[in-house]
Copies of this chain bind each other. A is one copy, B any other.
Amino acid sequence: MTATRIREVALKHFAKNGYEGASLADIAAEVGIKKQSIYTHFKGKDELFLDLFEKVQAKELNFVADYLQRHKHRSIDQLLYGFLIQYIDCYEQDDNAKFFLRTVFFPPSHLYEVIVKQGYYHLEKLETMLIPVFDQALADGLITPDVSRDTGTAAFLAVMDGMFVELLFGGAELSLIRIEASWLVYWRGIKK
């Protein structure tokens, strides 16, 4: 299917060069077609971009949900730390996270409203998934009551953001060092 090929290549280009920096001509060239042919599969640049954004966001949320479901038996420290590590491993290879973060942080101005709205939805979903984990850990007495579930969740999301930044900027190796440090301090900060 040519449409999926276009999607693959476009994701790469959008992740690397952003919306304005990516050109349909370049994308088409790498697919092996002319840029006009893209219009057979998509109404235009915006539709292609938003189609990708939608799919990638769903993928990101699924990744988190799947992980939490698969490892829900783990203790909270193993669960959260493992999550960070797995994220680094998983998102070194493909451009999903890079595209998503770039789009959410710096959306093309004419799509600002749509994307920021989705960004908040994303954040909300993440919180919704994480809060029960902290509730459970608090109930089990694994983390200190001095840190509320909301505080623990917010701080963990901040740790995640720090990891994203390092992934974007320094790559997987540097991220790992930074995450080790962040996690050590974070866990000391919330454990009983």
Binding site for B on A (CB under 8 A): 16-21, 102, 104-106, 108-109, 119, 123, 144, 146-147, 150-155, 157-166, 168-170, 177-182, 184-190
Extra contacts, 12 of them, besides A155-B186, A158-B182 (Cβ < 8 A), are A16-B109, A19-B21, A102-B105, A102-B106, A106-B168, A150-B181, A152-B181, A154-B178, A161-B165, A185-B190, A186-B189, A188-B190
Most chain B CB within 10 A, of A106, A150, A158, A166, is at A158
Bound CA span A182–B180, Å = 16
B106, B164, B182: which contacts A155 (Cβ < 8 A)? Answer: B182
Can you give 8 A-B contacts (C-beta < 8 A)?
A18-B18, A21-B109, A146-B188, A147-B185, A152-B185, A155-B181, A164-B165, A185-B186
A146-B188, A158-B181, A190-B188 given; A18·B165 CB < 8 A: no
Which residues of the other chain, B, contact A188 by a CB distance below 8 angstroms? 144, 146-147, 188-190
Q: How far is the CA of A14 from the CA of B42 in the complex (A)?
A: 29
Set of chain B residues within 8 Å of A179, measured between Cβ atoms:
158
How far apart are the CA atoms of A17 and B107 in the complex, in Å? 8
A21 surroundings in chain B (CB, below 8 A): 18-20, 108-109
If A109-B17, A165-B165, A186-B189 touch, whether A158 touches B159 (CB-CB below 8 Å) is yes
- On whether A151 and B20 interact (CB within 8 A), knowing A161-B166, A165-B161, A169-B105, the answer reads no
